[in-house]
Amino acid sequence: MKQILKISLSVLCLTVSAFQGVEGQKSGSLRMIEQVDFSHVKIQDAFWSPRLEKHITATLPVCIDQIENKTGRIKNFENAAKGEGKHSGIFFDDSDVYKALEGISYSLINHPDARLEAKADEWIDKFASAQRPDGYINTYYTLTGLDKRWTNMDKHEMYCAGHMMEAGVAYYKATGKRKLLDVCIRMADYMMTVFGPGKRNWVPGHEEIELALVKLYGVTQQEKYLNFANWLLEERGHGYGSMGTEGKWNPAYYQDEVPVRRLSSISGHAVRAMYLFCGMSDVAALKNDTGYIGALNRLWDDVVLRNMYITGGIGSSVHNEGFTEDYDLPNKEAYCETCASVGMVFWNQRMHEFTGDSKYVDVLERSMYNGALAGISLSGDRFFYVNPLESDGDHHRQAWYGCACCPSQISRFLPSIGSYIYGTSEKALWVNLYIGNTTEIPMGTRTVKIEQETEYPWNGRVKLTLSSPMTKEIRMRIPGWCKTYTLLVNGKRMKAATEKGYAVLQRSWKAGDVVTLNMEMPVEMVSADPRVKQDVGKRAVQRGPLVYCMEEADNKVDFDKLMVSKKTTFKTIFDASLLNGVEKVQAVNGNETINFIPYYAWDNREAGKMKVWVDYVP
């Protein structure tokens, strides 16, 4: 079946809580939906379970080996504790250790493992020993001169502290052990003796601390951390942010050109922007700051409608690891850092919690299944930093990077994907993503048990079984790509009203009730906004949430001459022996066939050319 989907948005016509969310939110919050934390969700899914297993058997061991043996990241903490020896690596390398520890913590929640926990304890002892008596912790400045600390806003001291806080909160939730949490509290308290109202001004060059302080507030309920996060956000845009940087970048690179509540267009470094928007969302939710929400709405339109790739990747330029001009989306030269796609998941989750609008989950899903998932090999031990949409066959995943933000980012993202499936609000249970799982969702004094079965993303059939009664309505997301679907309750067709992309099912639910959603998932040819000059005269192939690409391995003859047209027809075939099992798409032009595979799976075989946007015969 063939459809042409006209895209009027960016590249596309697109059509909480724990992990990234905040516990302990007050009633009357602007946040209407609370994410169901992954600790309540057991994933049993043909698509995701093998990835999660690889995370344990391959990804975490690679991270640990690189951090301990192949690079000097742990040695830096040992040296800092002794106050002797040299710092090796990049000045923000501590952050990778913290992010890997966050990934270990989430893995321990899903699969307790005494040896892995002992490894985490060993690292945490080293972090604690490297903390200065005043609370400061940063191996780079401890080993290169503490007199120079806080003299350069772009040396990532608060960025590293923020990642430590995320790890400290995660490990405390995983194990109940608070040694690292106490290290984090001492660092936060120390920073607040130096910076804050009536003290020194400060603009962190790489955002992250803001969202982390809100997490610290979540577990400690100490409002001073939330207030400090808010103060740091308000510091931006007043000219305080150039310290020590010698004008290397303009303020827009750091999202520091205007006060954050006046931001209306995206600029600068993509990952920094994502973390900033997450921090703004978190503070807005807890402080009921509608000014932040207004800015975030404007920024979302600018990112998604004018600056996002079809893969959900963002940041087109290697030069600033970020944004250039609207609609400038080169394919071969695309930057699309893996961390930025994961950042899109984090931010869109938060936007959804304010609104219950499925357009945010559409983007979340697009970034998750395409831009972010491409960042890791099927074997789980090789990583992309840059995710182009076209390649001459010379771009490959690597075992690690000098700047290793992306491998450590993937290591903390994968084990926590269960957090994006469900949400709860006063009236509703929200089913946002279709991933097989069983979950026990706390609702007031009771727990509601749910089982979800599906072969998504290979087909659009979803079965939801309730094992306990529930009075809340169920809101099933109808993804933006889905044009035709049916809904059944206990085998009977239901006509449900839709609201903001959700089918609303209201009834008094009994144990054993079954909701079935059948979404048609045709192959679609997608055209870009005509203002994206790099995609003029081209089409991309998409099916359900997956963007497809053609790889030379499946199209050895005349790769550069292959084209699609109005007359092209599509077939799909599930091939269990291909790339760990994928639904491949075949485009048929007369007696010529073009083979497409999901974009996330490219570069897992012999080197060869790849492209997402294919020439189109008008």
Residues 118-147 close enough to bind Zn ion by CB under 5 A: none
Whichever of 71 and 432 has its CB closer to Zn ion, that residue is 71
Q: Which stretch binds Zn ion (CB under 5 A): 19-27, 43-51, 226-234, 339-347?
A: 339-347
Q: Residue 387 Cβ, how far from Zn ion at the closest point, in Å?
A: 10
428 is an interface residue for Zn ion by CB under 5 A: no
Query: Is 321 in the active site?
Result: yes
Q: Residue 304 Cβ, how far from Zn ion at the closest point, in Å?
A: 20
Q: Which stretch binds Zn ion (CB under 5 A): 189-197, 397-405, 483-491, 536-544?
A: 397-405
Whichever of 284 and 344 has its CB closer to Zn ion, that residue is 344
Strands 34-35 and 502-505: unpaired
Residue type, 389: L
Say whether 480 sits in a helix, a strand or coil: coil
Q: What phi and psi, each to the nearest 5 degrees, are found at residue 166?
A: -60, -40
Say whether 356 sits in a helix, a strand or coil: coil
Q: Site size for Zn ion, by CB under 5 A?
A: 4
Could you tell me if 373 and 355 are in contact, meaning their C-beta atoms sit under 8 angstroms apart? no
Q: Which stretch binds Zn ion (CB under 5 A): 154-162, 221-229, 336-344, 534-542?
A: 336-344
Q: Residue 407 Cβ, how far from Zn ion at the closest point, in Å?
A: 8
CA neighbor of 464 nearest in space, from 455, 456, 453: 453
Q: In what order do the strands lie in the sheet with 446-454?
A: 41-43, 437-443, 446-454, 460-466, 514-519, 485-489, 492-493
Whichever of 217 and 275 has its CB closer to Zn ion, that residue is 275
Whichever of 339 and 587 has its CB closer to Zn ion, that residue is 339
Q: Residue 313 Cβ, how far from Zn ion at the closest point, in Å?
A: 12
Cα 574 vs. chain centroid, distance in angstroms?
28
Q: Which stretch binds Zn ion (CB under 5 A): 238-246, 329-337, 410-418, 565-573?
A: 329-337
Query: Is 102 in the active site?
Result: no
Q: Residue 96 Cβ, how far from Zn ion at the closest point, in Å?
A: 10
Sign of CA dihedral 80, 82, 83, 85: negative
Say whether 563 sits in a helix, a strand or coil: strand
Rg (CA), the chain: 24
Choose which of 187, 339, 389, 470 interacts with Zn ion (CB under 5 A): 339
Choose which of 60, 406, 428, 474 interacts with Zn ion (CB under 5 A): 406
The tokens describing 293, both together, are 């929400």
Q: Which stretch binds Zn ion (CB under 5 A): 195-203, 337-345, 424-432, 496-504?
A: 337-345
User: Using CA atoms, how far apart are residues 21 and 606, in angstroms rounded to an integer?
Assistant: 40
Alpha-carbon distances of 467 from 25, 272, 399, 464, rounded to whole Å: 28, 42, 44, 10
Compute the C-alpha angle 72/78/80, nearest 5°: 100
Cα 504 vs. chain centroid, distance in angstroms?
27
Whichever of 17 and 367 has its CB closer to Zn ion, that residue is 367
Could you tell me if 104 and 60 are in contact, meaning their C-beta atoms sit under 8 angstroms apart? yes
Could you tell me if 255 and 272 are in contact, meaning their C-beta atoms sit under 8 angstroms apart? yes
Q: Which stretch binds Zn ion (CB under 5 A): 144-152, 279-287, 322-330, 402-410?
A: 402-410
Compute the C-alpha angle 256/258/261, nearest 5°: 105
Q: Which stretch binds Zn ion (CB under 5 A): 205-213, 353-361, 406-414, 524-532?
A: 406-414
Compute the C-alpha angle 258/260/263, nearest 5°: 70
Whichever of 187 and 339 has its CB closer to Zn ion, that residue is 339
404 is an interface residue for Zn ion by CB under 5 A: no
Pick the catalytic residue: 405, 406, 482, 549?
A: 405
Whichever of 158 and 405 has its CB closer to Zn ion, that residue is 405
Pick the catalytic residue: 34, 157, 166, 321?
A: 321
Residue nearest to Zn ion (CB): 339
Q: What phi and psi, each to the nearest 5 degrees, are found at residue 480?
A: -55, -30
Q: Angle between the 94-110 and 114-130 helix axes, to the nearest 10 degrees? A: 150
Q: Residue 392 Cβ, how far from Zn ion at the closest point, in Å?
A: 23
Q: Residue 421 Cβ, how far from Zn ion at the closest point, in Å?
A: 25
User: Using CA atoms, how far apart are residues 533 and 2, in angstroms rounded to an integer?
Assistant: 25
Whichever of 384 and 456 has its CB closer to Zn ion, that residue is 384
Q: Residue 410 Cβ, how far from Zn ion at the closest point, in Å?
A: 9
Q: Residue 426 Cβ, how far from Zn ion at the closest point, in Å?
A: 37
Residue 468 DSSP code:
S
Residues 202-241 close enough to bind Zn ion by CB under 5 A: none
Residues in CB range of 581: below 8 A, 6 or more apart = 46, 574, 575
Whichever of 99 and 539 has its CB closer to Zn ion, that residue is 99
405 is an interface residue for Zn ion by CB under 5 A: yes
> What is the maximum span of the chain, computed from C-alpha positions, in angstroms?
75
Q: Angle between the 290-306 and 338-355 helix axes, to the nearest 10 degrees? A: 130
Q: Residue 568, exposed/middle/buried by CB under 10 A (0-12, 13-18, 19+)?
A: buried
Whichever of 99 and 584 has its CB closer to Zn ion, that residue is 99
The tokens describing 22, both together, are 């905040």
Q: Residue 151 Cβ, how far from Zn ion at the closest point, in Å?
A: 26
Query: Mind telling me the catalytic residues?
Result: 321, 405
Q: Which residues bind Zn ion (CB under 5 A)?
A: 337, 339, 405-406
